[in-house]
């Protein structure tokens, strides 16, 4: 709850803790000036005497400011448009451009960046999270904040780094305040990540966190029941080996479960070694 006695620094800290770190208007609005203007306008009106009739005076509305588009629930046509646009992309670069030009998801209008991917697109291992956070939105790359730093250490534990893996998210845009994406937003973005997987052609997929696992496996089962178990996902006519695992953000809050993530990482290392190509192909 906001305390009226907070100074500016304390108020900004309170906003940051609440996940409010962006302004939704292009320019700041001076609410104090608006209030003062209304008081001046009111004071200039003649005061009614005992027999005077009180008239209603319209106070000019504040100057309108640019606002992001209204959030709407997409219909099936928007999802189908995303499917069609994704299918038209024949390369990863074409898909990147297609997503950057897509305007059918309201998240794009509150995000700073379209976060596409990071790492090596020729890697045999692709990691997929849910959505960019504040640091990812600022830098335009996935997993670069505290969670990303932990992910880097986790990969290093099995002798991998970002030059040897490929990383993306189900959603390319950050939800405001890191809120949970709506089912409609996820439905709109899913065709893009599915096409992303098709074009990257990884041998193995590691789904980081419950949201990405539920989306790509089309299940409502929780991550604790899904993690550590290899399964397959079919995208059009292609099948991919998939391992759901715990999100680094969850591990930062629950460090005792790092042992479970370590088991998953060892499983990935074993499967990569077992499927090591013998020729020049990936």
Query: Do 248 and 264 touch, CB atoms closer than 8 A?
Result: no
Whether pLDDT at 71 is above 90: no
| Total Cβ atoms within 10 A of residue 19 | 14
Q: What is the pLDDT of residues 130-155, one digit of tens each?
A: 999 999 999 999 999 999 999 999 99
Whether pLDDT at 41 is above 70: no
Distance CA 106, CA 155 (A): 33
**Dihedral angle sign, alpha carbons of residues 11, 15, 21, 22:** negative
Query: Do 145 and 135 touch, CB atoms closer than 8 A?
Result: yes
Whether pLDDT at 128 is above 50: yes
Q: What is the pLDDT of residues 168-216, one digit of tens each?
A: 999 999 999 999 999 999 999 999 999 999 999 999 999 999 999 999 9
Instruction: Show Cβ contacts of residue 222 under 8 Å, excluding neighbours closer than 6 positions.
Output: 210
Whether pLDDT at 72 is above 70: no
Q: What are residue 134's phi and psi, to 5 degrees?
A: -60, -50
Q: Which of 165, 138, 137, 140 has the alpha carbon at shortest distance from 151?
A: 165
Domain 76-274 has CATH 3.40.470.10: yes
What is the predicted pLDDT for the residue at 230? 98
The 3-state DSSP class for residue 164 equals: coil
| Total Cβ atoms within 10 A of residue 144 | 21
What is the predicted pLDDT for the residue at 69? 44
**How much is the average pLDDT of 99-106?**
96
Q: What are residue 109's phi and psi, to 5 degrees?
A: -85, -10
Q: Which of 216, 236, 237 has the alpha carbon at shortest distance from 226?
A: 216
Q: What is the pLDDT of residues 242-282, one digit of tens each?
A: 999 999 999 999 999 999 999 999 999 999 999 887 655 55
Q: Whole-model pTM? A: 0.73
């Amino acid at each position: 709850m906001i305390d009226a006695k907070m100074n500016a620094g304390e108020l900004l800290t309170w906003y940051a803790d609440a996940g409010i770190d962006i302004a939704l208007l292009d320019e700041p609005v001076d609410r104090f000036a608006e209030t003062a203007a209304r008081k001046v306008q009111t004071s200039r009106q003649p005061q009614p005497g005992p027999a005077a009739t009180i008239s209603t005076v319209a106070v000019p509305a504040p100057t309108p400011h640019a606002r992001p588009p209204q959030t709407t629930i997409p219909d099936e046509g928007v999802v189908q448009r995303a499917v069609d646009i994704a299918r038209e992309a024949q390369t990863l670069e074409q898909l990147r451009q297609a997503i950057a030009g897509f305007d059918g998801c309201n998240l794009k209008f509150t995000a700073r960046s379209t976060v596409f991917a990071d790492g090596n697109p020729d890697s045999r291992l692709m990691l997929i999270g849910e959505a960019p956070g504040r640091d990812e939105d600022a830098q335009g790359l996935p997993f670069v904040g505290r969670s990303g730093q932990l992910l880097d250490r986790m990969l290093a534990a099995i002798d991998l780094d970002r030059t040897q893996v490929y990383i993306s998210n189900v959603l390319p845009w950050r939800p405001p305040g890191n809120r949970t994406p709506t089912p409609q937003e996820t439905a709109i973005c899913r065709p893009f990540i599915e096409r992303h997987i098709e074009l990257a052609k990884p041998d193995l997929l590691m789904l980081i966190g419950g949201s990405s696992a539920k989306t790509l496996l089309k299940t409502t089962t929780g991550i604790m029941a899904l993690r550590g178990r290899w399964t397959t996902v079919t995208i059009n006519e292609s099948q991919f080996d998939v391992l759901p695992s715990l999100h680094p953000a969850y591990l930062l809050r629950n460090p005792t479960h790092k042992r479970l993530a370590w088991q998953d990482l060892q499983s990935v290392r074993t499967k990569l070694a077992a499927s090591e190509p013998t020729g020049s192909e990936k």
